[in-house]
Amino acid sequence: MSKTRSKNILGIFAVLIMLHHLGQKVSAAWVPSAFRRHGLEPFVPIGYLLVAFFFFVSGYGLIKSARSKDDYFKGFLKRRMNRLLMVFVLTNIIWGAVRIVYSNMYLPTNPYSWYVYTIVVMYFGFFFTYRRERKISFLLMTAWLLGYIIVCYILIKGNWWYNSIPTFLLGIYVADHEEKAVDKKTLKLILCAAILLLGFIVSENIGSIYQALNIKDYGIVNFACVVLQMLASSAFSFIVYLLLAGKPALKNQNEGADSESSVKSIEEDMEKDKEKSQSDKKKNKEEVQSDNKGVKGLAQKVLAFYGGMTLEFYLLHGIYVQVFGHHFIDDKTKPVCYIENVLVYTLVTFVLATATAFAIKKAGDFIIYFYGRSPMFQKIFTDFKRYVIILAAIFMVITIGYSIHRHRLSDDSSDKVEKYKTEYIKNVNVRGTDVSVYTAGEGEYTAVLLGSDEDPCSTMYLRPLADCLEKKNIKVVIIDYPGKGFSKDMDGERTTEFFADYIHDTLDALGENENLILIPNQISAIYAYRYIEKYPDTVAGLVAVDGAVPELATRFLDGNFSSVYEYKWYLKRITRLNAISQKLLKATGYISFQTPLYDYMFYGSGLKEYYKAMEEMYIRNTLNEPHQNEYINIYDNCNAVSGYTLPQDLPAEFLLDNTLKENKYYGITWVNQYNRMITNDEIQEITVIAGDPNVIYYNPSIIAKQVEDFITEQLAN
């Protein structure tokens, strides 16, 4: 397989992958209908097929190089990693800068960088299994690859992390059996085309198939889907190979020896001119002159241009996919520069990605230039392994030290937690369980504050709002849900029925069973709707702050998952993985970097003395088992109140922050959803307030003022 041809094809595939990512952003079924645009649908499902050929060429090129070069494995990892990591770091710096500017800094910095992590794992596997080649080297490489797939599955990585990786093995096998591979080409092309069509079509429609067969265990279905995608991607890569391959190359030829497209080592870039003979130069010159004639020559130049910077183009085009998309990265971040027209969106992304990738390519070449001429630069890369070991050791020492420090701080914070509990928390017995509440103030009406699912301790986090309401002569009750805050855990599936009964029984134990104003935040609104249905006589009014809507169930499911079974299967696995990650962060102490910025969230609340206690409650309760159970049931709970409308005689107000309204979080038009629940415009309304979803914490006075006006205008009359 010609190196030039394979690079040209990879250049084309890099551009097609860009169209794939654009299609996912604008034309895929999971894109909210308000932002979905037609035109790129054909590119949405083909991404893994395109990437598969990158892996195929890498495996093919590695084994060819190992067969044709003496001492190939001497300095192998350094050669493989230098240019790859250099480009990866440069592009990640750009990604990081953009994400920091637009307040969306999460790891990984580049959401499209999974390919780099995967190819690095394959390089290590190839090095360990082929460094001292044995008869079982291929089997060992197969075991390595299977281990990678299993780890990805356990870590809940998307199928794209591993559904195309078997082609790396296929590339190795084909390179070792090239004469047999190209034998009976026509027959093999027909057979592979059949496998490709079967695997692709069935895997794309497997959701409908398993529903028709009434298979409810989605784990089995997902396994079948991945296997079919692996077969399809392998067949696709072999088809491309057969179309590109001529007669098998002689063993002493270098053509195709370094066919790895996405990563070229620094040393190999420097040694090109030294290794080529004058006859090779003459031959290449004649080929270039021949190719440069007419349209064919121009096409060859364009293909060579993109083929020479596939890695840079791949790692950078995603920035523009996101910057010009309907939201930046996810549905919770406002758009940067939204381009609605698909053609313009595509062209702008293509042009800017090309320019930026070219600039990074030149920057890489510049570094290579200095590498070849600077003794200091050479020393840096020569000692790279030593530096990595030193940095790893430093990181371990810092982690151990910080873990000890963090646990000492946690012990100190425990005193603050106990102090707060003693001074402010009251326990009532509900079904044999101690439920913690905070009560304050006196008044005709009782405001019942219900925290969001991400609130680790409502009796602390909602205190600023409670204090503001108390000053307005409104009685306040804050309830900690079971297993969160100071409340003990309670048996029971976290359904809407469970929470409605829990709230009712807690209030009943306090003697609060009339003139209640429910003030739920976010997901707690779902529980409030059920409470109103079950215990209408106790409720005088509803003031929902960024209250969740039943439509969230549909938004979580439609387009993202083929069925409820798939969604629940995924949700349980990702929740458990997040819980494991949370425990690891707790053990190392790094969880403190994840805790909220309390000076920002509670500025002026008078609770500064208890910021450390709040942090400790976050560490204790976030993604603990009760939190996991609540999160896993979000779909069912939203679906349980599907079609809910407010009672016509119930005064109600939806307080919606303008950030949520303008950015359509989760693709939902929140005002429309609230209007669907309103049944009486005279006593039910929507009020937009300045802020974001944390407004209930950092600006409680605006919420308290709305509640006061609500009582005066709706309840006192």
284 against 507, higher pLDDT: 507
Q: How far apart are CA 235 and CA 241, in angstroms?
A: 10
For 244, the enclosing helix (H) or strand (E) is: helix 218-244
The residue written with tokens 């497997």 in the block is 206
The answer to whether residue 417 scores a pLDDT higher than 50 is yes
Q: Which of 3-17, 462-476, 585-599 has the lowest mean pLDDT?
A: 585-599
The answer to whether 479 touches 437, Cβ cutoff 8 Å, is yes
What average pLDDT is seen over the chain? 84
3-state secondary structure of 462: coil
| pLDDT for res 630 | 86
pLDDT for res 599: 72
* 552-589 pLDDT tens trace: 877 666 556 666 777 778 777 877 777 787 788 778 87
Q: Cβ atoms within 10 A of the Cβ of 550, count?
A: 20
pLDDT in tens, 103-142: 666 667 888 989 999 999 999 999 999 988 888 999 999 9
Per-residue pLDDT tens over the stretch 45-97: 999 999 999 999 999 999 998 888 888 888 788 778 878 888 888 888 888 88
Alpha-carbon torsion 516, 517, 521, 526, what sign? positive
Whether pLDDT at 619 is above 50: yes
Strand partners, 433: 430
Distance between start and end Cα atoms, the chain: 84
The mean per-residue pLDDT over the stretch 373-378 comes to: 64
Whether 270 has a pLDDT exceeding 80, the answer reads no
Asked whether the predicted pLDDT for residue 215 surpasses 90, the reply is no
More confident residue, 679 or 76: 679
- What Cα–Cα distance (Å) separates residue 706 from each residue in 440, 524, 654, 690? 19, 19, 10, 12
Q: Which amino acid is at 616?
A: E
Lowest mean pLDDT of 126-140, 584-598, 647-661, name the range.
Answer: 584-598
DSSP string for 245-314: --SPPPTT--TTTT---S---HHHHHHHHHHS-HHHHHHHHHHHHHHTSHHHHHHHHHHHHHHTTHHHHH
Share of the chain above pLDDT 70, in %: 87
**pLDDT score at 221:** 84
Strand partners, 447: 476, 517
More confidently predicted of 77 and 708: 708
Give CA torsion, residues 365, 369, 375, 378, to 10 deg.
Answer: 30
CB 56 within 8 A of CB 241: yes
* Chain center to CA of 113: 11
Bridge partners (DSSP) of residue 448 are: 477, 518
Report how far apart, in Å, the C-alpha atoms of 651 and of each of 65, 213, 244, 672 are: 76, 48, 71, 19
Put the strands of the sheet holding 539-545 in their side by side order: 426-430, 433-440, 475-479, 446-450, 516-520, 539-545, 652-657, 684-689
**What pLDDT is recorded for position 551?**
87
Pairing type for strands 652-657 and 516-520 reads: unpaired
- Report the pLDDT averaged over residues 384-402: 81
Cβ atoms of 489 and 482 within 8 Å: the answer is: yes
Q: Which residues of 218-233 are buried (b: 16+ CB within 10 A; e: fewer)?
A: beebbebbbebbbbbb
Site of tokens 């950092």: 698
Tell me the Cα Rg of the chain.
30
Q: How confident is the model at residue 382 (pLDDT cuts 50, 70, 90)?
A: low
Are 117 and 346 in contact by the 8 Å Cβ rule? The answer is: no
More confident residue, 8 or 528: 528
| Euclidean distance between CA atoms 79 and 266, whole angstroms | 6
Q: pLDDT tens across 304-351, in order?
A: 888 888 999 999 999 999 999 988 877 667 788 899 999 999 999 999
Angle at which helices 294-307 and 310-323 pack, to 10 degrees?
80
- Mean pLDDT for 145-149 is 95
Number of neighbours of residue 32 by Cβ within 10 angstroms: 17
In one letter, which amino acid is 354? Answer: T
Specify the pLDDT at position 717: 64
